[in-house]
């Protein structure tokens, strides 16, 4: 097993422990009202939660080549587009103020 996969497993175990500890503290608390959306678009796995005043989109390029990501979002009166190039196995995020996500697409190799 490679050092990278060991680090990944260790990080996953640590994250699971933190979530479990958080659940014990949060017993009886009201559930969060925001929905979490997850999906895959070409090489990208993405997720975002419905926020009150902003939305943060997280992504991971799962391919071995650099790809272009396009996120369309609505500001109620207009639709805008955010584009970025993401390296192979790259991760990132972008915060959109007072917006709702319209679509997330992989535009192919960069």
pLDDT band at residue 5 using 50, 70 and 90 as cut-offs: low
Least confident of 12-16, 66-70, 84-88, 100-104: 12-16
Q: How far apart are CA 79 and CA 99, in angstroms?
A: 9
Res 2 pLDDT > 70: no
Q: In what order do the strands lie in the sheet with 100-109?
A: 79-86, 67-74, 100-109
pTM confidence score: 0.68
**Cα distances (Å, whole numbers) of residue 86 to 8, 54, 72, 75, 92:** 20, 23, 17, 25, 8
Nearest of 40, 31, 81 to residue 62 by alpha carbon: 40
Which residues make Cβ contacts (< 8 Å) with residue 34, sequence separation at least 6?
A: 49, 50, 51, 52
The arithmetic mean of pLDDT across residues 68-92, rounded, is 95
């Amino acid at each position: 097993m490679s050092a990278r996969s060991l680090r990944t497993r260790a990080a996953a175990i640590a994250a699971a422990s933190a979530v479990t500890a958080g659940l014990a503290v949060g017993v009886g608390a009201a559930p969060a009202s925001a929905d979490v959306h997850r999906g895959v678009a070409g090489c990208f796995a993405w997720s975002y939660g419905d926020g009150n005043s902003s939305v943060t989109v997280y992504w991971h390029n799962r391919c071995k080549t650099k790809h272009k990501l396009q996120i369309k979002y609505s500001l109620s009166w207009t639709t805008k587009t955010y584009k970025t190039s993401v390296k192979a196995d790259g991760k990132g995020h972008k915060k959109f103020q007072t917006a709702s996500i319209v679509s997330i697409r992989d535009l192919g190799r960069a």
